[in-house]
Amino acid sequence: MPVYDYACDDCGPFTALRPMAAFQDPHACPLCGGDAPRALLTAPALAGMDPARRIAAATNERSANAPKSSKQHGPGCGCCSGRKLKAPAEKAAAMKSFPSARPWMISH
C-alpha cells in the first residue's frame, strides 16, 4: 500500500498508509480526528535500480519458478543431439595419419 500526504487545517500535515482505491478520500487526522483532505506535499519517489542488478534480479526470479534446462542448446550442439563429437586429441591423431586422398602427403 502506498503512503499518502494529508493536510489537517488545525493540526498540520501528516502521512497515512492507504489502499490505492481510497487515494482521493479524506482521512481522519491522528491528533484531532477531523477529516483532512489529501495534499501533495512531497514528490513521488521511484525506487530505481542499476540495469545490471535489475537484470540479475529478473534472472533469479525466473529461475526460481522455471529453471532453464541444459537441454535447451542449439541444434547439433553435440551434448544434446546424441552424436558424439571428437575430442581435440582424437582430431589431432587423425590428422597425423596418412590421408586417404593424398597418400604422398605425410604430416610432420
Is the alpha carbon torsion for 13, 14, 20, 22 positive or negative?
Answer: negative
29 contacts 8 by C-beta, under 8 angstroms: yes
The pLDDT of residue 58 is 83
- Grade residue 23 by pLDDT with cuts at 50, 70 and 90: confident
Asked whether residue 24 carries a pLDDT value surpassing 80, the answer given is yes
Question: pLDDT (tens digit, 9 = 90+) per residue, 78-88?
Answer: 555 555 555 55
**pLDDT top residue among 60 and 12:** 12
Asked whether residue 72 carries a pLDDT value surpassing 70, the answer given is no
38 contacts 5 by C-beta, under 8 angstroms: yes
45 contacts 27 by C-beta, under 8 angstroms: no
Using CA atoms, how far apart are residues 45 and 42, in angstroms rounded to an integer? Answer: 9
Asked whether residue 97 carries a pLDDT value surpassing 80, the answer given is no
Asked whether residue 98 carries a pLDDT value surpassing 60, the answer given is no
- Work out whether strand 35-36 and strand 3-8 pair parallel, antiparallel, or are unpaired: unpaired
